[in-house]
Amino acid sequence: MSPLVSAVPLHVNGTGVSIPLKKRSSNRLDNTMAQHAHLVSKYENSFNIYRINTGKIHPLAGRRSMISSRANTSTEALTASKILWYGEITIGTPPVTFKVEFDTGSSDTWVPDSSCAACSGHSTYDPSSSSTSRDLGQDFDINYQDDTYATGQQYTDDITVAGLTATNQAFASASDVDSGLLDRASDGMMGMGWPSISQTGTPVFNTLVEQGVVSSGVFGFYLTDTDGSLFLGGTDASLYKGPLNWNPVLYQSSWYITVDDVNVGGQTVISSVDASVDSGTTLILGDAQSVAQFWSSIPGSQAAIQYGPGMYTYPCDSNPIVSVSIGSQTYTISSQHLKWLQVSDADCVGSVVATDDSIRHWVLGDAFMKNVYTAFDFDHSRVGFAQL
């Protein structure tokens, strides 16, 4: 496992601070089914929280999601766990360091509580040891459809990320955490989606904006196969060329935008789909019908559920040219990122994967995000992309 870089800012310019990210290697084949199940359940859970918070059914919620569940500037260094990119934060006074996953597909921050019997080997939060801790007297309960869960109590305390401190920040301290969530390099989660899908209220980055700690409500991701960076309070223009191509957010929950076209060999095979831009998955996922249509345009491809639900194989030597058109720009997905893994001398499993009818949109994970610089803008409700 690559070592984590310090949570203090490592690169600062006039608009923000950048944190380096590292990616943990993992067995992709073993992880595929778990990742697929958790991603689908994450969106089902967020749709349920959205309904609780707003009183409305999310426009993209599938059939299962309509059933209620229990449910200045700076940069942070991140490392990739089995599924998500993670980095260091501190909580409390005196500060305790945690490794958390930075997930644009969710909005809550939670870490293991000191009373968690199953959390050995992870940093834990002891509210009695922090002079700035306050118990909110509210439960926290996330139960995913893949049977993973984290339950506990909500507190406020000082949370620092990349040298930036959100005071009196609400978060959850989980006294009971499923082993499926603990089997990662990280300790917990920091969600970077919109408040509408948060159980604990205002997310950490939004608090930094409200308290004037960052100069703008913008953060940016730069991801590669081995490392990357998360920039808080703006973007790191040294990592991309040309202007950012901004696209309006469709729904202020996860970061949903419109994908105009998905192309193979320069020909459009899918048009006008809603998609979330999600640092919380390595895959690109879509509804079963359109994903089947995508793979049917690549000769020699076939369904391959033996490698995971919704997976397809294709001839490794075909090197199809795949691109995604968003707004006025088209972004190519490199052949190395279209390939999820090679399973034989001839066959590769693709990173474009079908979901069931529980979610009806596409998810652009880091198989897409590695090809572009991605900026998320709360101030103007938009997502921007630029060429690396």
First-to-last alpha carbon distance for the chain, in angstroms, is: 26
In degrees rounded to 5, what are phi and psi of residue 311? -85, 155
Whether 103 is catalytic is yes
E-state strands within 38-187: 74-76, 78-80, 85-91, 96-103, 109-112, 134-143, 149-161, 164-177
At 77, list the tokens: 């260094």
Q: Which of 103, 108, 227, 377 is catalytic?
A: 103
Q: Which residues contact 382 (CB under 8 A, 6 or more apart)?
A: 246, 247, 248, 249
For residues 325 and 271, give the distance between their C-alpha atoms in angstroms, rounded to a whole number.
9
Measured torsion, CA atoms of residues 34, 332, 256, 373, in degrees rounded to the nearest 10: 90
For residues 324 and 27, give the distance between their C-alpha atoms in angstroms, rounded to a whole number.
27
Whether 260 is catalytic is no
Distance of CA 298 to the CA centre of its chain: 28
Q: Which of 278, 287, 366, 377 is catalytic?
A: 278
Active site residues: 103, 278
